[in-house]
Structure 1
Amino acid sequence: MPRKPLAVLAALTAGLLLPASPVLPAQAATPSETSSCAGPRVETFGPASVTGAIVGAAVHEGKAYVVTRGQKPPVLAEIDLATRKVVRSVRLPDAPAAGEAEGGWATAVSGGKVYVGTYPVPDLYRFDPATGEVAHLASFGKNGGYIWALTAAPDGTLYAGTYPDGRVREYVPATGAVRDFGVLATGERYVRAVAADAENVYAGLLDKGKLVAINRTTGAVKELAQGGTGIGVVADHGDRILAVSGPTLIDVRKDGTDARFVPLGADSFDTLTVSPDGTVYGTSRPDGAVHRYRTGDSAPVKVADPPSQDDETRQIALSGDDTLIGFSGSGGMWSLDLPTGKAEFTDLIEAGLPSGAERPQSMLLVPGRAVYVGGHFFMDVRDLRTGEQRRFRVPGEPKDLVRRGNKIYAAIYPSGNIISIDLRTDEIHSLGYLGHGQQRPWDIEYDPVTDKLLVASAPLGAKLDGALSIVDPDTGEIDVYEGVIPGESLMSLSLDSAGGIVYLGGDVLGGGGTPPVKTSASVAAFDLASRTVLWQVDPVPGFRTFQDIKVHDGLLYGVYKRDSGAWIALDLATRTVRHRGTLSGYGELTTHRGRVFVSTFFGGGNAYELSDTATHLATGLGDEWYTNPQLHFEPGSWKAWALSGRHLARIDLDPRCPLLTVVPPQS
């Protein structure tokens, strides 16, 4: 079923979803050349990106329970499946550990109570539907960790899969006892999926691609199958276990025999559920279609078009014999009548789910017209002429945005889809998918000389090689240069259109889960005419990840991600480092009026001007970006669009003024 009605309703109800904000003054479209250091230097305009996105979901006794993504603190909402309305919601209280929960991927029901595992603080909570009480039960790690998966065994014992230690933990609700089953595979970081029966707990390992069984009594670990890539879905199927490893469905007996590797074609599955008669239903990614499978089938059979097109499906469950209930990551719930294939979609915000500010993914200023902010499956837009705000759905997370004429182009995670957005109508069109495992597009630029889009990307999962992709915005033709920097993924690119060269910034860690083959991140120069690498250099030995690079006036400025906020200026003629220093953290570089600027994470959120040294321009911006902190300057002005906390802000960064200390809004 198409999602057009949601986009229309979202636009019509934007005023209800977003808090009232002041209208920009008329002169905002014509920035002043002067700046008063003594006057107000910060304007804020309400939440930059509003979300009702969800992660975890569970069904119990005619109710659904969903957990939000991106809001602080997360919302646990109870939905009446008969009326399709949110009837109750609670916030998960902040736990004693450092950090704040922003969502809960893991949900399970045991003993009539709902359990939630959170991130980026890996804590376990319990919600009692009878009393409405929420309790914090246990912590399975420190800030930066995840409880990715949660399941209940037949006796009610809970099992959690965690990151970054790659472990399974047991929690006994009756006693509160916690057990750690230890290292399941050397170097593993993610236990992404779990299932349990009376004897074993079954775990899917994302880095190593293994399906393992852990004896609940002895703790003994047995490998049941090896996938071709990471395993992200596991389901109990009687005397068999099902697991999804990229484009393959693994169907194996619980003793490890009779392993069947069923091809899924170009897709993967993000959820599975098993009916009482043994039929397995799954939803495919990236399209969101519904499929049916039974052991012995050569391939799953599609039974319905996507109830929510190009959406991530968080959970599916059968309601009766003929209805499948699904939960979409963008913030929706759908029901599918299996005999007819007819689907009904419900937007959860419209159903009463509390919305809130999330960490933005990306931003783009269209001068004098609008500011676009990419969020999780939605784009929020502030009209600079009227002050009005609207939002519309996009098929994923826009990791970066670029403009070409009357269209914006977005690089989408987790599909690797490149889409266009019409500035006049908000109409979305897909140019195509990068493919080649390149599902993390980090940077996109437009080359006006060749009239092509340039995309830097990293693989998803245990691979190292990223790619430079060259996209024709008119035809959708995509040329993918995988491994353009051998043994590294790409985090950033910077175009010298006059010279016909695009410069690439590497990351030796790749998609994660595979040991690096290099110790230092490279910069490479790629000739767009010959489509060849002209040269490659490692500017600083031992520094492994370029977060961003930018070419300006014969120098390539680079910010490293994991190396104490290090930055450099590389002389492109000699390929040697001319300047270097330290910032509060990493972020995105931009050039404006002949100068180089950067906004960074950590230390409260900071902005600098870079030359031979770093000049501190602003602090207190907050650390609320999901990807790179960004600055978007108005032409002819020192005013830049950015974030103050999670609010959209316009900030005066005149280098002539003293250090600006920003006080982010509290909400």
Structure 2
Amino acid sequence: MTSRSAVVRRGIALTAGVVVSSTLFLAQHGTGAEAGDSRETDLGYPIAGNVVAFAQAFGVDPDGRPQSYHVVDGQPLYTLEFVVTDLRSGETSYSTRVPRGQRSKALEFSVADGGVYIGTREGDLYRHPTGTQELQDLGSPLDGDGIFSLEAGPDGTIYGGTYPGGHVFAVDPGSGEVRDFGQVAPGETYVQSLVEVDGIVYAGSQPGGRLFRVDPDAGTIDEIPLPPGHEEEKAVYRLFEAAGKLFVFLQSEGVLLVHDLATGTWVDEVADFQGQAVSPLDPVTGEHVYFRLKNGEAVRYHVDSGDRELIGWRPGVVAGSFAWIDLDDPAFPGPTLAVTYQGSARMEVFDLTSGASRRIDAELVGAPPPVQSLGTGPDGKIYIGGYLSQSGMARWDSDTGEMERLGGVRQVEGFGTFGDLLLIGRYPNALLSVYDTTLPWSDGFDQGSPVYVEQFQDRPHAFADLGDRVAVATVPLSGRRDGAIGLWDPVSGELDVHRGVLGDRSPVTLAAGADSLLYGGSTVWGGYGVDPVEESGTLFVLDPENGEIVHESVPVDGEPSLSGLAFGPDGFLYGLAGGWLFAFDPDTREVVRRQELQDTGVSRYGTDRALLFDEVGRLFVTTGGSLHQVHPTTWEVDVLATGQVERLAIDRHGDLYFNREASLYRYDLPEPRCPQPDPRDTVVIGDHDTGVPNRHADEGCRVSDLLGTPDDFASHGHYVRHVGDISESLRASGIINARERAAILAAAAGTH
């Protein structure tokens, strides 16, 4: 609301002698604000300059100077940023933005031709000839498929892995000829990793977590089964080769397997491996590789015996890529190992001979990430999470008008509250964290031992405060459909997970009922990489005492996801199914009303759509890229803002917040007609309690607010006529029935 002062109850004060129109104000709509209305304020990018650089590699220029390569995601406002850094000087050698493409994780240096190859998730392939200021556009090797992995062969051939087709392809950079080897296996939609060894290409897939051997000459694809005990793995995420051993990183389990290519046997498993990279073979011993352990130490690993030893280096990075480099520096006589920090600009180098180390930071500009989540904290402030945010989340304080960056948190899927605690649901691995909002962020954010929702869950989208604990709705890992409902005590950390209670659906929105039951909405979508088998999202009721579903139904056939469940002042449960608004009676467990608002397509989990009631009962909805006010009795709709409007939150002053891509907006609501409605449960006229429920009408008003009191009118006759007109409008609108109107009229007539 525009006014941030304390609200004084004014009701409907009618001065003596004033003739009051008998037209009920709740029917007078259709004058809502358009997009760009002065009530709308652009608050800018909550998380500006965010660097997401999952595509990282090392190489050399034509003079042999070591270089690093970073590709920084640009979405949604920019294309990818490509940066070359000279590792001796630490300076940028070349930087540009690619013509097309906003996301990438595929980057490869080719020793054969000295080119750096960039594959985008949109399917484009680029080449940067090192030592130049050029970027060559090689087009799209496979139409309709994004590039998720790249590997350079010794003959200059560039191999690629795709999504959603799950194909392996080869490109001859000289001729431009493309060979498509086809999908690695039915159902495998991602090829996340590739490595070429002696003319054979090994490919790791998702969502089945499988390993394949591709023979380019024969055109065959054969599977290499993982060792027993890894049947639940979903992603063979990275592959490396050294001295005839294939190192296989399993993303879901976080373990590193070692496969002997000569014997075809699995020879080791490194359970305490951390990061996503294994170094190339030690150029001096020819027998060792290096990687980081979960305790932070880097180790030397003997590729034949599996023996390992600490080297006295604790790299402050989660390894994304390793390389042996020559710094031409006496302090680093060699061999010198370089490593990137997965996702960021930071790099470290370590000399095995001198023990010297150095940090190098690439000069990456980054881009604001699209808003992924929006919530109101117990402190009334607005909290914002960004998609793949490496730079933390943000907090908007409407009292000071300040946006604050909050570090230590990456992608936030959803927010909740529990007393003074802000609950933070994070991706991946369904990480749950808490922040005590009575303390500064540095003191109140729990960075110690956050609670994981195990049982193969990945995205905590929604929370509901049940009083003694909190319900958590999670979507599963890639390749799975069995979402879960967790019952969590944020204070003790105790967690009880009910996985698969919705079959092949996942919960994505929750609301706590006054009957001590949990109400929720589901989506047919599970983790990425697997198609749904159901057609419609469901409304369900769960008993927290035993974790059992006691009711489940489909509010709108054919709508895959439900969103924004919230109980209204009338006791009904309101929600969205795609672009449909519906109301559900928890007593009869039936949908009592539904109406299509606006729909321009549904996001995967429907989390871009939201619904909330303000403190006086006004209903606001974001769907179809617009912000709507829905008048709760007539369901007439005012469109308040348009143009890519997503999500919704409300601050302590009653103003609304939404996002358009990476920007946050505030919408200053006008004060309601009845800012402090009559709190009585029944309509009281004079000294007479009519027994008629004092229902909510519109603009914060309840029935008794609209009827007024005898003291508001010049004469008893004026008052009775006013009550007659208003009560008839209320009856015609379905707020009261004829019997209740008669009771109100009798009470009004009896006042003197």
Distance in 1 separating the partners of 2:309 and 2:532:
39
SS in 1 for 2:104: strand
Distance in 2 separating the partners of 1:302 and 1:46:
47
Distance in 1 separating the partners of 2:403 and 2:452:
30
Distance in 2 separating the partners of 1:367 and 1:102:
36
Distance 1:508 1:45, change over 3 A: closer
2:590 is aligned with 1:590: no
Distance in 1 separating the partners of 2:636 and 2:292:
49
Distance 1:356 1:411, change over 3 A: same
| 1:210 Cα deviation from its structure 2 partner | 1.6
Structure 1 match to 2:137: 136
Distance 1:466 1:338, change over 3 A: farther
Distance in 1 separating the partners of 2:531 and 2:660:
38
Structure 2 match to 1:314: 320
| 1:165 Cα deviation from its structure 2 partner | 0.8
CA-to-partner distance for each residue in 1:167-217, whole Å, 9 max, x for gaps? 112111111222211122112211111111341221111122221111122
Distance in 2 separating the partners of 1:500 and 1:231:
43
Distance in 2 separating the partners of 1:70 and 1:32:
48
2:57 is aligned with 1:58: yes
Distance in 2 separating the partners of 1:55 and 1:388:
31
Distance in 2 separating the partners of 1:232 and 1:58:
16
Where does 1:95-114 land on structure 2 (aligned, <5 Å)?
101-110=101-110, 111-114=113-116
Distance 1:270 1:600, change over 3 A: farther
Distance in 2 separating the partners of 1:69 and 1:295:
35
2:643 is matched by which residue type in structure 1? L
SS in 1 for 2:429: coil
**Which of 256, 259, 281 is 1:249 aligned to?**
256
2:643 is aligned with 1:621: yes
**Which of 90, 93, 108 is 2:96 aligned to?**
90
2:622 is aligned with 1:599: yes
8 A contact 1:31–1:636 mirrored in 2: no
Distance in 1 separating the partners of 2:366 and 2:516:
45
Structure 1 match to 2:245: 240
SS in 2 for 1:273: coil
2:478 is aligned with 1:461: yes
Distance in 2 separating the partners of 1:500 and 1:306:
50
User: TM-score of the superposition, structure 2-length normalised?
Assistant: 0.71
| 1:75 Cα deviation from its structure 2 partner | 1.0
2:178 is aligned with 1:178: yes
Distance 1:548 1:331, change over 3 A: farther
Structure 2 match to 1:363: 374
SS in 2 for 1:329: coil
Distance 1:619 1:218, change over 3 A: farther
Structure 2 match to 1:210: 210
Distance 1:469 1:288, change over 3 A: farther
Where does 1:476-491 land on structure 2 (aligned, <5 Å)?
476-491=493-508
8 A contact 1:526–1:534 mirrored in 2: yes
2:594 is aligned with 1:579: yes
SS in 2 for 1:271: coil
Structure 2 match to 1:352: 363
CA-to-partner distance for each residue in 1:552-598, whole Å, 9 max, x for gaps? 3444444446xxx4554444334343314252234332222324433
Distance 1:636 1:159, change over 3 A: same
Structure 2 match to 1:437: 456
2:639 is matched by which residue type in structure 1? L
Where does 1:641-652 land on structure 2 (aligned, <5 Å)?
641-652=657-668
- 574-583 or 453-462, which deviates more: 574-583
Distance in 2 separating the partners of 1:505 and 1:556:
11
Distance in 2 separating the partners of 1:193 and 1:203:
6
**Which of 243, 259, 262 is 2:266 aligned to?**
259
8 A contact 1:508–1:545 mirrored in 2: yes
| 1:37 Cα deviation from its structure 2 partner | 5.4
Distance 1:175 1:92, change over 3 A: same
2:434 is matched by which residue type in structure 1? S
8 A contact 1:29–1:369 mirrored in 2: no
8 A contact 1:262–1:299 mirrored in 2: no
Structure 2 match to 1:20: none
Distance in 2 separating the partners of 1:343 and 1:406:
44
Distance in 2 separating the partners of 1:615 and 1:490:
28
2:460 is aligned with 1:446: no
CA-to-partner distance for each residue in 1:101-139, whole Å, 9 max, x for gaps? 2222100112222111112x2211122332212222121
Please identify which structure carries the higher strand content.
1
SS in 2 for 1:155: coil
| 1:402 Cα deviation from its structure 2 partner | 2.5
SS in 1 for 2:108: strand
SS in 2 for 1:525: strand
Structure 2 match to 1:47: 45
1:359 is matched by which residue type in structure 2? P
8 A contact 2:647–2:658 mirrored in 1: yes
8 A contact 2:565–2:611 mirrored in 1: no
Distance 1:31 1:269, change over 3 A: farther
Distance in 2 separating the partners of 1:478 and 1:343:
42
Structure 2 match to 1:506: 522
CA-to-partner distance for each residue in 1:599-648, whole Å, 9 max, x for gaps? 236xxx2223456757362454337xxxxx311123464x3112244222
SS in 1 for 2:105: strand
CA-to-partner distance for each residue in 1:506-550, whole Å, 9 max, x for gaps? 233422445656454333212234443322334445544435544
CA-to-partner distance for each residue in 1:210-230, whole Å, 9 max, x for gaps? 211111223211112245222
- 60-69 or 642-651, which deviates more: 642-651
Distance 1:471 1:244, change over 3 A: same
CA-to-partner distance for each residue in 1:425-447, whole Å, 9 max, x for gaps? 21231432112221222223434
2:415 is aligned with 1:401: yes
2:383 is aligned with 1:387: no
Where in structure 2 are there 5+ consecutive unaligned residues? Answer: 11-30, 61-65, 326-333, 603-607, 674-752
Equivalenced residue count is: 603
Structure 2 match to 1:98: none
Distance in 1 separating the partners of 2:564 and 2:309:
43
8 A contact 1:29–1:367 mirrored in 2: no
The percentage of aligned residue pairs carrying the same residue is 25
Distance in 1 separating the partners of 2:71 and 2:176:
23
Task: Return the structure number with greater relative CO, CA threshold 8 A, min gap 6.
Answer: 2
**Which of 280, 285, 288 is 1:279 aligned to?**
288
SS in 2 for 1:650: strand
8 A contact 2:32–2:638 mirrored in 1: no
Distance 1:383 1:635, change over 3 A: closer
**Which of 420, 424, 427 is 1:410 aligned to?**
424
1:588 is matched by which residue type in structure 2? R
Distance in 1 separating the partners of 2:498 and 2:297:
30
Distance 1:288 1:546, change over 3 A: farther
SS in 1 for 2:126: strand
Distance 1:415 1:368, change over 3 A: closer
CA-to-partner distance for each residue in 1:69-94, whole Å, 9 max, x for gaps? 24411211222323445454211113
1:264 is matched by which residue type in structure 2? A
Distance 1:263 1:505, change over 3 A: farther
8 A contact 2:141–2:171 mirrored in 1: no
Distance 1:280 1:531, change over 3 A: same
